[in-house]
A and B are shown apart, each in its own frame.
Chain A
Amino acid sequence: MIEAPRSTGDDLLVLHTLRCIGFAALERVADVAGLQASEAESALIDLAVAGLVTHEPGDFGGWSLTGAGRAADAERIRDELDAAGARAAVTRSYEDFLVLNPELLDLCTAWQMRSADGFATPNDHTDPAYDARVMDRFADFHRRAEPVCDDLAAALPRFGRYRVRLARALTRAVSGAPQYLADDMESYHTVWFQLHEDLLVTLGIPRF
């Protein structure tokens, strides 16, 4: 019999967060994982002792996975998926994601580049009407992305964090910080990109 989906433990959550975002400082790991900094740090130290993550000191320092950490994450995240009996549901959501993905990339491109008489030129953001139109399409896109995030969260609760982060990026963007569409480390595009990576890792699909 299949158990009800459970929350992912802090250790795996932190390990997997690092797997999906790459090199990052403690604050960012904690924010992405949805943990207190102290909780994330405690998990990182445990993982470091086990040889799964490593820390580079200095102003631009941060945490990243070791080779062993990458292998351990692949195994544990696969086991979690199978233990929850969620492979079929996550696969379906991944297919839904793939339908949406090109459109999100179109939107990011439209935010950064404008087509003037058929030629792409950088969007210099001097046309508020155009920018508002793109923003509006992002909001419309998000309404269609939400059900996919909800399905994923129902299959595996840890995916719920993406809905929170995507919604937060959009809210920031429409409230005067448009860099949260495509030009920030916590932008809609970056979070979406990480969700893509997460789905590939979770389902064991190689990117290259």
Chain B
Amino acid sequence: MDWIRPLSERTGESADVLGGKGHGLLTLRRLGLPVPPGFVITTAACRAFLREGRLPEGLKAELAAAVSRLEAVTGRRLGGPGRPLAVSVRSGGGVSMPGMMNTVLNVGLTTGATAGLAAETGDERFALDSRRRLLSGFASAVPGSRPEVSDDATRQLEMAVGAVFSSWDTPRARTYRELHGIAHDLGTAVVVQAMVYGNRDGRSGSGVAFGRDPNTGENVPFGEVLFGRQGEDVVSGGSATRPLAELAQREPAVWAGLLEALDRIEGHYRDACHVEFTFEAGRLWLLQVRPGGLAGRAAVRVAVDLAEQGLIGRHEALLRILPHHLRHARTPRIEASGTLDLLTRGLGACPGVATGRVATTADRAARMAAAGPVVLVRPQTSPLDMHGLAAAAGVLTASGGPGSHAAVVARSMGKPAVVGASDLTVDAAAARVRAGGRTLPEGAFVTIDGTGGEVVAGSPRVVTAPADPHLHRLLEWADEVCGGGPGRDDAERLTAARAVLLKD
């Protein structure tokens, strides 16, 4: 075995070899958590592929052997006949490059295997939906061309692995690495796992779950779930997700399993974590884990809470918070309180809070702005919205991510922006918007928070850092370490404490 490692407790290599995703899955395995069976193709195989322009010597044979073992474990056969095995083929480098590389799901669903899956489940629609996702996965993995998808399952798998390897070297990925100082010669690992189907039936679905609220750091589970769908639909932002807590009613066993898993994972990493998960016919599977990743006040709160719970020491809490977290922490935020009239939530794209009257077209935003602040609310923005963006105090869009045109323009103008609020619909013709099951006419007051992505009706209270008890606590600990002293700002107090601790 040179190129492939089993996804088992005994595999003990680093994320450089297995990729961050593969490494995290092994950790989950060791914690006794449910991970679909599979294997990892190492980053070395990717480097060889990129050097030679084809799958390296011996990889095909290793793939065949690994697939045989997977068939034995699952009692299925790749491509059929009988109960067909389908696999997910996902990228995962040692360094995270979000959104840059490819994933192909449902690999192995040849026309024959699709018929087999339909026969097995008695659900042809589900089988065809899965096959369609395979085809569109290949189409987006090889942009600008229409690849012929082989009807041989083994060949499909080899193609998918090649497509994921190749995605390491797209111009866009190269640009990303140049910008972020990531070496070009690392390559990506590939994680191959038996498919679990979030689109299987009404008791299936996919989601993302955080052990603690990533917007506030509060110690409550947070996240979103999509019933009846595969995970790509959650990440793409194209579908309206439901709050994670809905699982508690609809799938109590999945919910309980998820809470238990998040708890065990947090104990292991000693940090706030989040997971991507799928449940199929009421059974929970974990597909990815990521520790940390919180910013601003949420990061401060988690570090302080973890120290007070005894999971980490106070010194470690101080070392986890970097001075730029405090810069974030000083950005105005909507005050979290029980009376908050939350309409919906999107992705914060430019920090800051904006309150104003809803305008659903750029022209009306420009006109209404003469009488007071407006928030421009659009499905997404186009160049025709520029004068409305210029006139508005903030912008809210239903689609798009933090790199969308709307986000780029809002940041260029320094305006708070929330994008990708997928639950939001904008009816410009009728001059109204719908969110959270409610309808707001143009001219109604809303407030958006470009850090946490909250969209709130009316004019809630806005807070900045000094009122934050967790930050206060952290800075007390900082002063204990370095003796304190008057006349220093938050970042200076933290920096002084870190300097003492890092010297030890």
- Residues of A at the B interface (CB closer than 8 Å) are 20-23, 64, 95-96, 98-99, 102-103, 105-110, 112-113, 115-122, 133-134, 136-137, 140-141, 144, 182-185, 187, 189-190, 193-194, 196-197, 207-208
Contacts and interface: CB of A to CB of B under 8 A. Distances in A.
A182 B408 contact: yes
B95 to A, nearest CB: 10
B382 A141 contact: no
A22 B362 contact: yes
Interface string B398-434: 0000111101110110000000000000000000000
Interface in B168-193: 171-172, 175-176, 178-180
Contact of B385 (A20, A22, A109, A184): A22
A141 B175 contact: yes
Given A116-B322, A116-B324, A23 B403 contact: no
A115 B177 CA distance: 12
A103 B175 contact: yes
A109 B403 contact: yes
B408 A105 contact: yes
B47 to A, nearest CB: 23
Nearest to A102: B172
Contact of B412 (A144, A182, A194): A182
Given A105-B403, A109-B402, A137-B179, A122 B324 contact: no
Contacts of B366: 23
Contacts of A185: 386
B384 interface: yes
Interface of B: 96, 143-144, 171-172, 175-176, 178-180, 292-293, 295, 322, 324-325, 327-328, 351, 362-363, 366, 379-380, 382-387, 402-405, 407-409, 411-412
A113 B412 CA distance: 10
Contacts of B405: 105, 189, 193, 196
18 contacts: A21-B383, A22-B383, A22-B385, A23-B363, A96-B144, A99-B143, A99-B144, A105-B405, A118-B292, A119-B328, A121-B324, A122-B351, A137-B179, A185-B386, A189-B412, A190-B383, A193-B382, A193-B409
Contacts of A112: 408, 411-412
B327 A121 contact: yes
B380 A208 contact: yes
Contacts of B295: 119-120
B412 A134 contact: no
Determine the main DSSP class of A at the interface with B: helix
A20 B172 contact: no
Contact of B175 (A107, A113, A121, A122): A107
B297 to A, nearest CB: 13
B214 to A, nearest CB: 12
Contacts of B176: 106
B383 A103 contact: no
Contacts, number: 105
B175 A140 contact: yes
B430 to A, nearest CB: 15
Interface centre among B322, B328, B384 (most CB of A within 10 A): B384
Contact of B384 (A22, A117, A183, A189): A22
The 9 closest A-B pairs by CB, nearest first: A22-B384, A183-B412, A103-B172, A105-B403, A108-B408, A112-B411, A119-B295, A23-B387, A109-B403
Contacts of B379: 208
A155 to B, nearest CB: 17
A109 B324 contact: no
Nearest to A105: B403
Given A103-B172, A106-B176, A207-B382, 19 more contacts: A22-B384, A102-B172, A102-B403, A103-B171, A105-B408, A107-B175, A109-B408, A112-B412, A113-B411, A115-B180, A117-B324, A119-B328, A121-B328, A133-B178, A133-B179, A134-B179, A137-B175, A190-B386, A196-B405
Contacts of A184: 412
A121 B292 CA distance: 16
Interface centre among A22, A110, A115 (most CB of B within 10 A): A22
A21 to B, nearest CB: 6
Nearest to A192: B405
A144 B171 contact: yes
Contacts of B363: 23, 64
A194 B180 CA distance: 28
Contacts of B292: 118
B259 to A, nearest CB: 26
A110 B97 CA distance: 14
Contacts of B402: 109, 120
Contacts of A118: 96, 292-293
A48 B407 CA distance: 34
Contact of A197 (B383, B387, B408): B383
B387 A22 contact: yes
A193 B383 CA distance: 6
A120 B331 CA distance: 14
B290 to A, nearest CB: 10
A197 B143 CA distance: 21
A64 to B, nearest CB: 8
A198 B362 CA distance: 18
Nearest to A119: B295
Contacts of B324: 116-117, 119, 121
Nearest to B180: A115
Contacts of B180: 115
A73 B405 CA distance: 24
A105 B179 CA distance: 13
A184 B412 CA distance: 8
Nearest to A185: B386
A101 B191 CA distance: 28
A133 B384 CA distance: 31
A134 B362 CA distance: 31
A109 B176 CA distance: 11
A94 to B, nearest CB: 11
B383 A194 contact: yes
Nearest to B145: A95
A193 B382 CA distance: 8
Interface centre among B96, B143, B180, B408 (most CB of A within 10 A): B408
A128 to B, nearest CB: 15
A159 B52 CA distance: 39
Contacts of B179: 106-107, 110, 133-134, 137
B187 to A, nearest CB: 20
